[in-house]
Amino acid sequence: MRKIPRKRRGQRHQFFAADGVDEILSCVLRLTAEISAVKERLYLAERVLEAQGLHLTAAIEAYEPNEAQSEELAAGRERLIQTVLAQLEGASGTQSIANDNPSIVDAADS
């Protein structure tokens, strides 16, 4: 059995030799976990409402958000993107992403 080499406390393991691959994989795994949780909650919410006689799925498909709601959704998407990209902060070759958009670090801290 192969042992994972120990690192100093607080230092992350690097599993792939290419710079940035570990960080990108971490982003993908975080997104996958978030999407899975959201999909499960939406599915359960739809089933609960259907059990009460409300057919939410069809209503969601037909819904047209107003301008304020569209802006709120766009802001939420932007926060999500910034939070995910914050994982790349400090990775070799990706520092320019954070330098070009300083709000990435702010989004990760909130």
Judged on CB neighbours under 10 Å (0-12, 13-18, 19+), 46 is middle
36 three-state secondary structure: helix
Q: What is the pTM assigned to this prediction?
A: 0.51
Task: Give per-residue pLDDT as tens, 75-91.
Answer: 999 998 888 777 666 55
- Of residues 30 and 71, more confidence is placed in 71
Among the residue ranges 7-11, 48-52, 56-60, 91-95, the one predicted with the least confidence is: 91-95
Task: Give per-residue pLDDT as tens, 6-27.
Answer: 666 666 677 777 777 888 888 8
What is the reported pLDDT for 27? 80
